[in-house]
Amino acid sequence: MTGAALEIVGLRKNFGGVPATQNVNIHVAHGERRLLIGPNGAGKTTLFNQIAGDIRPSAGSIRLFGREVSTMPPHRRAHLGLARTYQIITLFAGDTLERNVALALLGLMRSRWNMFRPIDAGAAMRAEILRILDLVGLAGQAGQRAGTLAYGEQRRLEIALALAQKPKLLLLDEPLAGLSAEERVSVGALIGAIPREVTVVMIEHDMDTALELADSITLLHHGQVIVDGTREEVLADPRTREVYLGH
């Protein structure tokens, strides 16, 4: 597939008189692995929130698969193929893993409006739930409550919930944050195994693992794109060393 999965032109967001993103221009091709980097407060999560529809831009354009979505609500963007994870893990901690996945599946199904049918009823639904949990190595814990999982397992479950929505564009907001070295390796391998039919844009501070996954990098600073290009180009740029690497 050719063309852009995500195209951002002149995107700007102000909170009062304070600019959070300033004239951001980004083009992400279908199947690309794009890494967003930058110091804390650079505007990375604010940019994600605008792409997902959680925050409306002050100006500019966001196009998903060629369709303008700048004023489109989040649920409609999800139906176009957008899914995301959050910097702070968002799960139904008191429910089982399988019911968490069932809720993610139902989010894009008309049957979610049937209040008289259990959310995880039916052999086909259960088989799909277990298939998704198996993708992240958690099928054996399907009946366990999400809140009892180890932190790294919760990260994997959150990615499973996003994958359950069959995304064409997946936004990952610091998926390796707070993980041990061993957990970073396993979650990094999980992200690396996502099929190329899914475009992935990721915010991450663990550069060693993230760089292995990235085709291209965008460096943000004070809400602006400072450097944008291939992994090699961005890492070789002296502005990257100055702004992000500190030398």
**Regions of the chain where pLDDT drops below 70:** 1-2, 108-121, 244-247
- Which sign, positive or negative, has the C-alpha torsion 197, 85, 152, 245? positive
CB-count exposure of residue 54 (10 Å: 0-12, 13-18, 19+):
middle
β-bridge partners, 34 = 201, 216
Instruction: Provide the residue range defining the domain that includes 17.
Output: 4-245
34-66 pLDDT tens trace = 999 988 889 999 999 999 999 999 999 999 999
Count structural domains, the chain. Answer: 1
Give the CATH number of the domain where residue 59 resides. 3.40.50.300
89-114 pLDDT tens trace = 889 999 999 999 998 988 765 544 44
Whole-angstrom distance, CA of residue 156 vs CA of residue 186: 9
Amino acid, res. 94: G
List, in order, residues 6 or more apart from 215 with CB less than 8 Å away.
32, 33, 34, 230, 231
